[in-house]
Structure 1
Amino acid sequence: MRKLTLALLSLLGSLAVWAHEGDTLRVLAIGNSFSQDAIEQYLYELGREAGVEMIIGNGYRGGQGFASHWRDVTEGNNTFEYRKVVRGVRTNRAHMALKAIVQDEPWDCITVQQASPESGMYATYDPCMSELLRYAARLCPNPDVRLGFHMTWAYAHDSTHGGFANYGSSQQTMYDSIRCAVRQAMAAHPELTFLVPSGTAIQNARASWLGDNLCRDGYHLDLSFGRYTAACTWLECLTGISPIAFKYKPYGVDAVTALTCQKAAHRACATPYEVADMSDVGYALVNDIKPSGKVKLNFGRGDCGDRAWNNIGTDLRTHTRILDEHQHPTGITLTATQPMSGSNQNGVAYTLTRMLMPAKVSATAHWGYAAGKFGNAQARPMAEYTLGHLNPALRYDLTVYASREGCKDFRQTTFVVQGLECHAGSIEPANNSREVLLFKGVRPSHDGRVTLGVMPGTHNTSVHRFYYLNAIVVRTH
């Protein structure tokens, strides 16, 4: 392989690696599920668009950090997984020694990172981080390998991760602690020649109209735009090529969201220890859009075939491209903050309601159950959806429909709507073709949110206490 050209981008320790035609950039992370989130998806595809072929490796041990990794090395436990991406194909080999992973390729770059609960606690970094860095540099077949640090992200503000207590369960405190610890590490270790500031990129995206929706479970990244933001950050740090205006974006990421993620990453690379002003990116931080018509939400499986309806599947946690019935952007987001158990196509196909639903809307649903064990689905006492980035100057009328065909029991479902005030009501989905619930004049919270709780009602007699949500129509005034 021809020698790669390496150049420092700034005194802050960023590294740009760009390849001449025919070169392959080899990148190895020694990490955990946070490096899985950052590099195993989307980075290869972004590299291809940038004209850089990559071989990507992840020495993975879930939930582990410097001390645990070094103990695995010294005790010979061989508990690493070797996740590798070659020509876009992902493979995984279990029960690997770190030595074998490091020696597998003449890596151009190797990064380390701390386990997330201790990521903002510099006292936990050494001596084991230093040992790992020396070990990796000594064993790597490439004598010119560059060592770098992956700065991970703070948890979501409402995370229930046990490690959040280390930071008083405060996202801001955790982020400040991480950037302080990483800054200390970079200053104390001259062998670290570059920094990948994923943590600041994620914080930048949170400071945009996307809000605090970058994590899927309070600490791991959202599978679409969360991971995409991190991958864009790695791309620019490794190649010096800005991801802004790149065409590649993963499933579920629309053009406005993609550009927001790209700029969050780019600005993090420019100022890795400071959150950037994101008010000029995407929609206004405070939504000022008044939809030109109804906003129709189809909860179910697949495309209903009617462009007036937004298809809300279970494959995305957060939907960011919500249009009104005239195909105009609304700036609204919809997040399954507590998802249901699954989706089905067992609703009533033909209905007589004011919602005027196509059959493919009324017949599909998200469903949950609260009691016992039903198939492989997880029992959930309730589900919750959040309509986010709403225009706080508007009031919202929500019409809700729920249905399940062929029932011989009662499956009453209760809905609780929480904005500035709380509204509640119930509907009987069993063989329902006519009944809807109307919540009138709902005012969003001051930060533009309305939550919808879904749960079995008190008159639900089904053994598993099934509950449903098929469709919502939103009207503004």
Structure 2
Amino acid sequence: MHSTSGVAWLRKSVAIFVLFLLVFTGKTAFSQAGPPAVPGQKNEKPLHLFIIGNSFSGNAARYLPKLSKEGGHTLVIGRAELGGCSLQRHWELVEAAEANPDDPKGKAYNGKSLKMLLSDGVWDVVTLQQYSMLSGDVETYRPYAQKLYDYIKKLQPSARVVFHQTWAYRADADGFGKVAGKTMAQSEKEMWEKSRAAYHTIARELGVAVMPVGDAFWRISSDPKWGFRKDTGFEAASAQAPDLPNQAHSLHVGYRWNKTKLEFDSHHASNAGCYLGGLVWYGFLFSESPVDLTFLPEGVPADFAAQLRKTAWQTVRAVRKGVAK
């Protein structure tokens, strides 16, 4: 009897001990893993992205926060952007700030220098780009791309530096970017070809990757079905508000009325162009297809948006494989 009671007591003690271990280890595992993920939010560290550019980077990254949020990615963005700013200009601002940190000339980014902005935290990715008008002339990148790269790595040694490949102007532009000295590109295609070659040449020299927004623009522009085609029946000189040409599938702003004045912008991205740029950035930065994302900017038809998502991911994958088109 005494032996049976002892065995029962031992079994009960073991059961209590095992239960204690299960509870303890369960709590320990939970504390290490952290709280459950928020629905739609991926269990990953935030991506800290710093953009050195101009209005074109502003266009390309316009919808990136919304796309990232939908995709479940936490994104922190820092910016050093000035309208029409070239690599040379960005570097000259660095030199001014380094020569005299108190000189306002070096604090062109809303009262701050590039050093001040880059030193504010730790950045995972830093992007660079050339001014679009100069993007087809490889000599305009030298030596400023290298100097900026070295400066970035000095301040942020663990950051990945990436080139943002800008896009060519719309097919009906009244002029295109420089390709060599004073020689200008003669078409959207030539501007894309020359700027692409320049970006990739400098990227190879620096050992960095290229974010192929310009390639994605050209894939759409040159597509027989989805590319923009000039409305030959529209006469800008005699147009009356609010008449506009057919600008279906335009990735550029194009014609628009400012009260009674007809304006034409063949350089900057339209809502569709900004969307395409953001999709390329998304696919490149997160190594993830944006095809199933549902966010849609105002004025972009659903079928066209679906093609833009598909094209963005095809372009990112193609560049990784070393394919031009």
TM-score, reference length from structure 2? 0.69
Please say if residues 176 and 187 of structure 2, whose CA atoms lie closer than 8 Å, have aligned partners that are also in contact: no
For 1:218, give the aligned amino acid.
S
Greater helix content = 2
Structure 1 residue ranges without an equivalent (≥5): 1-18, 82-93, 277-477
Please say if residues 243 and 262 of structure 1, whose CA atoms lie closer than 8 Å, have aligned partners that are also in contact: yes
Q: 1:161 deviation in Å?
A: 4.9
Partner of residue 78, structure 1: 106
Partner of residue 63, structure 1: 84
Q: Show the 5 A alignment for 1:397-416.
A: none
The count of residues paired between Structure 1 and Structure 2 equals 240
**Quick one: distance in 1 between partners of 2:113 and 2:216?**
32
1:95 alignment partner, SS class: coil
Please say if residues 197 and 268 of structure 1, whose CA atoms lie closer than 8 Å, have aligned partners that are also in contact: yes
Partner of residue 250, structure 1: 297
1:158-206 Cα offsets, whole Å, 9 max, x none, are: 223574674333111111101111221122112x2x2210000111121
Q: Show the 5 A alignment for 1:433-444.
A: none
Partner of residue 328, structure 1: none
**Quick one: distance in 1 between partners of 2:214 and 2:290?**
17
164-173 or 261-270, which deviates more:
164-173
Partner of residue 48, structure 2: 26
**Quick one: distance in 2 between partners of 1:172 and 1:162?**
10
Partner of residue 99, structure 1: 115
Q: 1:20 deviation in Å?
A: 6.3
The alignment status of 1:146 with 2:160, answered yes or no, reads: yes
Pairwise CA RMSD of aligned residues? 1.9
The alignment status of 1:261 with 2:282, answered yes or no, reads: no
For 1:186, give the aligned amino acid.
A
Q: Show the 5 A alignment for 1:126-275.
A: 126-140=142-156, 143-161=157-175, 163=177, 166-190=183-207, 192=208, 194-208=209-223, 209-212=225-228, 213-216=250-253, 217-222=265-270, 224-272=271-319
Q: 1:21 deviation in Å?
A: 1.3
Identity %: 30
For 1:119, give the aligned amino acid.
S
1:280-334 Cα offsets, whole Å, 9 max, x none, are: xxxxxxxxxxxxxxxxxxxxxxxxxxxxxxxxxxxxxxxxxxxxxxxxxxxxxxx
1:369-397 Cα offsets, whole Å, 9 max, x none, are: xxxxxxxxxxxxxxxxxxxxxxxxxxxxx
For 2:274, give the aligned amino acid.
R
Q: Summarize the Cα distance change of 1:52–1:70 in structure 2 as closer, same or farther, 3 Å threshold.
A: same
1:314-360 Cα offsets, whole Å, 9 max, x none, are: xxxxxxxxxxxxxxxxxxxxxxxxxxxxxxxxxxxxxxxxxxxxxxx
The alignment status of 1:114 with 2:133, answered yes or no, reads: no
2:268 alignment partner, SS class: coil
**Quick one: distance in 2 between partners of 1:237 and 1:271?**
11
Q: Summarize the Cα distance change of 1:221–1:255 in structure 2 as closer, same or farther, 3 Å threshold.
A: same
Please say if residues 236 and 242 of structure 1, whose CA atoms lie closer than 8 Å, have aligned partners that are also in contact: yes
Greater strand content = 1
1:23 alignment partner, SS class: coil
Please say if residues 52 and 80 of structure 2, whose CA atoms lie closer than 8 Å, have aligned partners that are also in contact: yes
1:195 alignment partner, SS class: strand
Q: Summarize the Cα distance change of 1:248–1:211 in structure 2 as closer, same or farther, 3 Å threshold.
A: same
Structure ID, larger Rg: 2
1:47 alignment partner, SS class: helix
**Quick one: distance in 2 between partners of 1:138 and 1:20?**
31
**Quick one: distance in 1 between partners of 2:222 and 2:79?**
29
**Quick one: distance in 2 between partners of 1:168 and 1:68?**
23
Q: 1:274 deviation in Å?
A: 5.4
**Quick one: distance in 1 between partners of 2:176 and 2:308?**
28
Q: Which has the higher contact order (CA 8 A, sep 6+)?
A: 2
Q: 1:229 deviation in Å?
A: 0.1
162-171 or 105-114, which deviates more:
162-171
Q: 1:22 deviation in Å?
A: 4.7
**Quick one: distance in 2 between partners of 1:158 and 1:207?**
13
Q: 1:53 deviation in Å?
A: 0.6
Partner of residue 51, structure 1: 72
Q: 1:105 deviation in Å?
A: 2.6
For 1:220, give the aligned amino acid.
H
1:412-454 Cα offsets, whole Å, 9 max, x none, are: xxxxxxxxxxxxxxxxxxxxxxxxxxxxxxxxxxxxxxxxxxx
Structure 2 residue ranges without an equivalent (≥5): 1-40, 98-104, 229-249, 254-264
**Quick one: distance in 2 between partners of 1:80 and 1:47?**
29
Q: 1:58 deviation in Å?
A: 2.3
1:248-271 Cα offsets, whole Å, 9 max, x none, are: 111222321111111121121122
| Runs of at least 4 residues off by over 4 Å | 273-276
**Quick one: distance in 2 between partners of 1:131 and 1:183?**
17
Please say if residues 137 and 194 of structure 2, whose CA atoms lie closer than 8 Å, have aligned partners that are also in contact: yes
**Quick one: distance in 2 between partners of 1:95 and 1:161?**
34
248-257 or 124-133, which deviates more:
248-257
TM-score, reference length from structure 1? 0.48
1:34-91 Cα offsets, whole Å, 9 max, x none, are: 101011x21011111211110122210111111111111101223543xxxxxxxxxx
Partner of residue 42, structure 1: 63
Q: 1:275 deviation in Å?
A: 6.1
Please say if residues 36 and 58 of structure 1, whose CA atoms lie closer than 8 Å, have aligned partners that are also in contact: no
For 2:171, give the aligned amino acid.
H
For 2:251, give the aligned amino acid.
L
**Quick one: distance in 1 between partners of 2:115 and 2:42?**
29
